[in-house]
Amino acid sequence: MQKSVQHIQIQRQKSTHFSSQEDVVAVEEPLEIQVQEFGAKGAQSISVTMRTPGNDEALALGFLFTEGLLNNYNQIKTVFPFGENKVVVQLQKGLTIELNKTERNFYTTSSCGICGKSSIEAIKTNSQFKISTPVKPSKELLFGLQETLSNQQSLFSLTGGIHAAALFDFSGKLLLIQEDVGRHNALDKLIGEALKNEKLPLTNTLLLLSGRASFELIQKAVMAGIGIIAAVGAPSSLAVELAKEHNQTLIGFLKKDGFNVYSGEIS
């Protein structure tokens, strides 16, 4: 079983003194996602992404879904790890994925989920869900989210180098949290878990991001039908445009006593 963190020896300077100490860093390793058609002897490589080991099957499912290559979990026969750094997704009989139609290059890094894709048009995947926001989030609800996330974000407290994506209901109850060295991977893990448990669309939920709100994260939220997104960091211009286009509520710079509203309304 692969570990999510690694213990290493470092030299730490404090004031005028050096000391040898043990530190904990987040593990970053490649994961190859492959798709195998029913009855086929081999599998097709779809993506290589840099990720933190753990919940790899959910990561593969979430990636394929948010990229528009899968529509629902009923299309999957099984998902299984192959070695330490590969996941194979087997399709049901009669299904196929035509990668050449997507016009994408699926080599991704932990810092960027859309690096290598050929054009803006190629990354605007169409969602099967229409965004609906049943309620306007209150400031009291939003103020309490970051503290709840901090209490649950175990890998970040150890390493300081892990991103989290967390799902809450409208009472502020934490429903699901996933962590990864890559922002987009953490969200794919969360959406993949929801896909597997047939919880999509995530209409009655609020998504909290531990870092900034970039375009690809808003795009993935659109694919999952999430209407309210709050981020601890800043959104990008394209993220704001996409949120407005899909009637999403987008909150940035969320703190315990303040935030910015970039799209939508609060109560």
For residues 191-210, average pLDDT = 96
The phi, psi pair for 246, rounded to 5°, reads: -105, 15
Evaluate if residue 198 carries a pLDDT over 60. yes
256-266 pLDDT, tens digit each:
889 999 999 99
B/e letters for 139-171, b = 16+ CB within 10 Å, e = fewer, are eebbbebbebbeeebebbebbebbbbbbbbeee
Give the chain's end-to-end CA distance (angstroms, integer). Answer: 46
- What residues have CB less than 8 Å from 13, skipping those under 6 apart? none
The model's pTM is: 0.89
- What residues have CB less than 8 Å from 199, skipping those under 6 apart? none
Report which of 167, 173, 170 is spatially closest to residue 197, judged by C-alpha positions: 167
Evaluate if residue 116 carries a pLDDT over 70. no
For residues 203-222, average pLDDT = 94
Position 252 scores a pLDDT of: 97
For residues 181-199, average pLDDT = 96
Report which of 147, 187, 184, 193 is spatially closest to residue 165, judged by C-alpha positions: 187
For residues 237-251, average pLDDT = 95
Position 174 scores a pLDDT of: 92
Tokens of 149: 């996330």
Evaluate if residue 119 carries a pLDDT over 60. no
Catalytic site residue from 112, 158, 234, 238: 112
Tokens of 218: 């808003």
Fold of 29-123: Ubiquitin-like (UB roll) (3.10.20)
For residues 221-238, average pLDDT = 95
Q: Do 251 and 259 form a contact (C-beta atoms < 8 A)?
A: yes
Beta bridge partners of 47: 33
Position 90 scores a pLDDT of: 97
Tokens of 37: 């058609």
Name the burial class of residue 5, with classes exposed (0-12), middle (13-18) and buried (19+) by CB atoms within 10 angstroms of its CB.
middle
Evaluate if residue 7 carries a pLDDT over 90. no
Lowest mean pLDDT among 8-22, 31-45, 49-63, 84-98: 8-22
76 vs 18: which has the higher pLDDT: 76
The phi, psi pair for 263, rounded to 5°, reads: -155, 145
Q: Which helix (H) or strand (E) holds 260?
A: strand 260-263
25-74 pLDDT, tens digit each:
888 999 999 999 999 999 999 889 999 999 999 999 999 999 889 999 99
Position 117 scores a pLDDT of: 60
Q: Do 67 and 102 form a contact (C-beta atoms < 8 A)?
A: yes
Evaluate if residue 100 carries a pLDDT over 90. no
Lowest mean pLDDT among 3-7, 155-159, 192-196, 251-255: 155-159
User: Catalytic annotation on 112?
Assistant: yes
Beta bridge partners of 13: 18
Domain boundaries along the sequence of the chain? 29-123, 139-263
122-175 pLDDT, tens digit each:
556 788 999 988 789 999 999 998 788 777 766 555 555 788 999 999 999 999
Please tell me the class of the 139-263 domain. Answer: alpha beta
The structure tokens 């299904």 sit at: 95
